[in-house]
């Protein structure tokens, strides 16, 4: 039995899952994004150091993968998630002053979580999309 692959699988799956959930939550609630961004970079560096230090291949693999996903999460928090808010691809939080500013400046931004629905098996019409957004206001 070789546990390198299992370690890689667990780190990849939970790294992506935790990143997916935490980036959304943290970006939504934070006013100054540089704080969580810095924390994620530091956590990534800690994982990087652990990966280099340990002589166990499964541990080195898991921490190496977690390091990279944490760096990616930092980039998501600082750059990519705010862009999703601007485009209305993720719901803005009106109680967060930073998001309130985005809502005022970007017409596409919305408080509606447009992804929180089941597929309907066809593309939405322009009218349906307009009605959807109006309901959020």
Interacting residue ranges for other proteins, rule: CB under 8 A: 1-13, 15-17, 20-21, 48, 51-55, 57, 59-69, 72, 89, 114-115, 117-120, 122-124, 129
Q: Which two tokens stand for residue 39?
A: 């924390």
Pairwise CA distance, residues 44 & 4, whole Å: 20
How far apart (Å, rounded) are the C-alpha atoms in residues 80 and 68?
16
CB of 24 to other proteins, least distance (A): 12
Give the CA angle between residues 21, 23, 68 to the nearest 5°.
100
Least distance from C-beta 118 to other proteins, angstroms? Answer: 8
Of 55 and 137, CB closest to other proteins = 55
User: How many CB atoms are closer than 10 A to CB 92?
Assistant: 25
Radius of gyration over alpha carbons of the chain, in Å?
A: 19
| CB nearer other proteins, residue 31 or residue 119 | 119
Choose between 27 and 73: whose C-beta lies nearer to other proteins.
Answer: 73
Minimum Å gap between C-beta 51 and other proteins is 4
Residue 31 or 115 with smaller CB distance to other proteins? 115
**Beta carbon nearer to other proteins, 35 or 52:** 52
Q: How far is the CB of 106 from other proteins (least distance, A)?
A: 15
What's the rounded Cα separation, in Å, for the pair 88 and 59?
39
84 C-beta neighbours (distance < 10 Å), count = 17
- Closest approach, Cβ 97 to other proteins, in A, equals 27
């Amino acid at each position: 039995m070789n546990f390198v692959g299992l370690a890689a699988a667990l780190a990849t799956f939970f790294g992506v899952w935790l990143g997916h959930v935490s980036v959304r939550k943290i970006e939504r609630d934070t006013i100054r994004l540089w704080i969580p961004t810095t924390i994620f970079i530091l956590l990534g560096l800690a994982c990087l150091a652990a990966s280099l230090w340990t002589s166990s291949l499964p541990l080195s693999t898991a921490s190496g993968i977690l390091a990279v996903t944490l760096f990616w999460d930092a980039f998501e928090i600082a750059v990519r998630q705010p862009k999703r808010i601007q485009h209305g691809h993720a719901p803005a939080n009106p109680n967060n002053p930073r998001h309130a500013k985005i809502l005022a400046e970007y017409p596409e931004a919305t408080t509606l979580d447009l992804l929180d629905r089941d597929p309907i098996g066809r593309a939405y019409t322009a009218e349906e999309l307009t009605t959807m957004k109006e309901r959020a206001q």
